[in-house]
A and B are shown apart, each in its own frame.
Chain A
Amino acid sequence: MAAHTLNIYMLSLGRMHCHIYGRNVHKALNRATYATALSTNNSSPNKGFPDRGSRGPIIRRPRREEGEPRKDRMPVDQDWTAVYPTAAPFRPGSVPLPVRMGFPVKRGVPPEKKGNLELIKIPNFLHLTPTAIKKHCEAMKLFCTEWPSALDTNVKCDEHFPIKIECKDYVSAGTSIRNPSARIVNLRVSICPNYDYAMYLLTVLYHESWKTEAWESEKTVADMEEYSWEDSPSQKNALSTLVRMQIAGEVEGDAVRDKLLGRPEVQEYRESVIRLMNEGESESSILQYREAVKKLLKL
């Protein structure tokens, strides 16, 4: 602490002298100030760490020495499934291959695998070597049955199982491990030679479709495939408009409603609204709607 204050004093003194004596002396004095500045003694036990003053030194546990990386102790005929039994991130010390990955900076080479984040980020298949897959198959055999011996040719398979489902898997390099084309699943049905079986299937489906499940009664307007004018807001609006347009005194009832619905202009209006809703809008459908409304409102 005392040395510290002495330094400051010397520096300020040096600067004052500069003003009086001129530039040459300034240099000499500067050298003098630098010399004194270097002579401080840092007595903290932690090298490289800042002086904590009166709080005391930071005590860290001594770091244990690194052992030899696993790859150096690997025999050639080792069991790789023990190194990578499951999907795990890339460990440079466990993979004995001199892999390099990354951008070669300044026309150099791609960086090595030690401490390489690029290798850790990407998915790896180190846990799926052929040996590993054989082990998986052996384990799964316990749960499988034998392939039927009668189905030994493709022709026989097609005969008994005419419906085939194809799923495709894709391997590609990109930002995502998912490939949207892999979502497409193909279902193939060959009709001949077993036409009878196909007809049997279709008959079954036909009869099944007639059965109404309990949840089908919960179908809402939004679920309907086609627009139906009956019980739609459009029908209600049209009816109420017509009723209001009628001469006052006419009692509204079911008979009046049916009479109104039977009128030709109402039918024309109904057609135009159905066309508008089902086919979508276009100039011609709007004009047809316009003519129908004009007739309805007697304009």
Chain B
Amino acid sequence: MTLHRLFPLRLRQTIAQVRLLHGSGCGHQLEEVAMEPELRKETSVFRTQVNDPACQSERHLGQYYTLPTSHLHTIFPHGLPARYQQQVKTFNEGCVMVRQPALELISYLKAADYSKPAVRYLLYGLKGSGKTMSLCHTIHYCSTQGWLVLHIPDAHLWVKNCKELLPSSYHTSRFDQPIEASNWLRNFRTTNERFLSKIKLRQRYTWTKRESTEKGSPLGELVDMGVSRVKSSSDVVGAVLKELRLQAAETEESEGFRLAVAIDGVNSLWGRTTIKKEDKSPVAPEELTLIHNLRKMIDNNWCGGAVIATLSQTGSLYSPSSAYLPKELLGEEGFDSMDPFIPVPVSNYSEKEFESCYLYYLDRHWLQHPHSESHSPQTCILVWSFLIPYFN
């Protein structure tokens, strides 16, 4: 949105008029940054042709790589941040910057031993620093490597604004969320088409007196049932998660697969909800079937995959807006559940990354200023957006 304000021609005059959108928490001061001309090299490269995350390395830091369009629709039906989706629509391409946190995560994933219990990774950082985009980059890597990706795009959406809350048929004290569960199953089906026929169920699931899914039937049948029978979709989600957890441990030869559990906003699993029961008492997160089953996935009692999570304060309930460190947002219970995990810090843009971003927008003709070739608009943008990726 700040970019719209950059459109007026007189950039210098608009400095006084621009106000910060998110004033809290950053604590930076407005100061003139003098950029040396040496940085503005003609040879600064902002794009790379290496589109496979597995082949990217430190050489490609700060450069944009393109997400193939087919991958965009299959891997990310619901995962990308809203603003980024708008950008993809505007530019007709999805370009992701190769940054240090994602590269670090991918290196851990490459080096990990998958016969050992699943390792938990937690991306944390200030608001707008690029946690969700780093997560998406990692998911792209997992997908291209043939992993099964279980992506929950925003766990906060499951603990608030629930239009329909049904008491669970499986467990009397829990509550189902049919709409959220069926939406997620639909997107899961889009992402993991190729696994749906390969994975066979290990046990029989009975839904009602007449309906059941037999042992040995493909996973796709279960997912289709969950999408069509909305009432039992939360239990279907639980069954899917359980099957995947049990079967991920197998080796490659016996048709095993690697499982990546990617959760954005994992701190909502141990926080509070704004959902109320009929007698107006609040519902605890563990009383929701979806959250209960997701918590089981985060435990490291299964092998053959990894849990990659991000913390998110935006969208979280009852947490202060300046909180961003793991223990603050996870709380005691969350920290004890995730422990031991590997925290991966995500920071704001470095100067080089900012330069890259600026050149990319110039290339896409997003920034149109007659003085674009000179340095002063760049200084202004630097000053305004404080190197925060969200504002770029």
Interface residues of A (CB under 8 A from B): 233-234, 237-238, 241, 244-245, 269, 273, 276, 281-283, 286-287, 289-290, 293-294, 296-299
Contacts and interface: CB of A to CB of B under 8 A. Distances in A.
Contacts of A233: 336, 339
Interface string B321-346: 00001111000000010011111110
Contact of A294 (B325, B336, B342): B342
Interface of B is mostly: mixed
B300 A244 contact: yes
B117 A290 contact: no
A299 B111 contact: yes
A290 B342 contact: yes
A293 to B, nearest CB: 5
A269 B300 CA distance: 17
Contact of A286 (B113, B119, B325, B336): B325
Nearest to A296: B340
Contacts, number: 54
B116 interface: yes
A245 to B, nearest CB: 5
B327 A299 contact: no
Nearest to A272: B340
A290 B341 CA distance: 8
B112 interface: yes
Contact of B340 (A281, A282, A293): A293
Interface size class of B (residues with CB under 8 A): 20 to 34
A296 B325 CA distance: 22
B35 to A, nearest CB: 27
Contacts of A289: 343
Nearest to A277: B327
B108 interface: yes
B374 interface: no
B117 A245 contact: yes
Interface of B: 108, 111-113, 116-117, 119, 124, 300-301, 303, 325-328, 336, 339-345
B327 A276 contact: yes
Given A233-B336, A276-B327, A299-B119, A241 B300 contact: yes
A269 to B, nearest CB: 7
A186 B117 CA distance: 58
A244 B341 contact: no
Contact of B336 (A234, A297, A298): A234
A241 B325 contact: no
Given A281-B326, A283-B345, A237 B339 contact: yes
B326 A237 contact: no
Given A273-B339, A290-B343, 12 more contacts: A233-B339, A237-B340, A238-B340, A241-B117, A241-B340, A244-B116, A286-B345, A293-B340, A293-B342, A297-B116, A297-B342, A299-B111
